[in-house]
Structure 1
């Protein structure tokens, strides 16, 4: 399971890195085409960069950003005992899952079932194989992916909190590392 998790993590990081590389290369092309006198500026570069940036943000938040990397307001959580932390962690996960499930039908309908999202096209970028224009809904599709993945992550979080207890906080990690260093120094 650890090997599969490692490969999945590496794969998602690779996809995000390639999208960022594409953003950077497109940005450099935009500069070259804008400032070299005999070349005509390219209009699609800004739209492609915007599409890729939105994808990288939602994809990264879905698959790469860990729970402990998020900004949290945990004063009450840190002051609580382990059993209370367990209850707070489960309650928070349930609230996030409820919010995602409640809002999912409306968001999905807005992005994929809305005729306007299908009719409105990105004017400057075309699909390389077919040559057709890209529907605007694909700009917002990564948000739907984010909602699904966050829901699944918090369902998994409920399972891990119930089974193994609340997650270790940064303060807990610092205390345990200080304790282990002190024990090794005392040996």
Structure 2
């Protein structure tokens, strides 16, 4: 049973990671089409730019919320790395509470905006803007779930014992020298 669950999670992870890859491939192809149309045929087309902008929006928001792993995130950790693990745990709890609170408070407005944008369509491809911006609802919901899970793990004491063992010596170093 556990192998089946793990297998499904791996498949889901691969599919989630494939979305940004496919979108980047579409952006590259649209860029090549635009260069060919503009400089070879001397007939620029606008849909390629529109496709690139939409794909980039989806790459960034989908990639950060669904595809990115916690350990892949870039952090400014001068202070975080210099404190003891118990203080890091407090930081993770406070940050998770903050993120979950802010995003949960904004979710109804995000959904309202996406719903409102169904009346408008993109200029060239005539895609409803509600489809274009729906990735923001995915981003918001997945971020709430991700940081809610981090919060639950931290409150249970199941968070990482030490995020970066290489920085443990920094927390104990005496800076009075």
**Structure 2 length as normaliser, TM-score?**
0.81
One of 146, 149, 158 as aligned partner of 2:151: 158
Deviation at 1:151, TM superposition (A): 0.4
Distance in structure 1 (CA, Å) of the matches to 2:167 and 2:89: 19
Deviation at 1:71, TM superposition (A): 3.0
Please state whether the residue corresponding to 1:124 is helix, strand or coil: coil
Distance in structure 1 (CA, Å) of the matches to 2:8 and 2:157: 21
Q: Which moved more, 1:81-90 or 1:101-110?
A: 81-90
Unmatched runs of 5 consecutive residues or more in structure 2: 169-177
Distance in structure 2 (CA, Å) of the matches to 1:4 and 1:82: 33
Q: Deviations over 1:26-57 (max 9, x none)?
A: 110111111223x6322211111111111111
Matches within 5 A, 1:50-61: 50-61=53-64
Q: In terms of Rg, which structure is larger?
A: 1
Number of aligned residue pairs: give it. Answer: 163
Quote the RMSD (CA, aligned, Å). 2.1
Deviation at 1:84, TM superposition (A): 2.6
One of 43, 50, 54 as aligned partner of 1:40: 43
Is 1:89 aligned to 2:92, yes or no?
yes
Structure 1's 74 and 36: CA in aligned 2 closer, same or farther, altered over 3 A? closer
Distance in structure 2 (CA, Å) of the matches to 1:87 and 1:124: 49
One of 63, 77, 80 as aligned partner of 2:80: 77
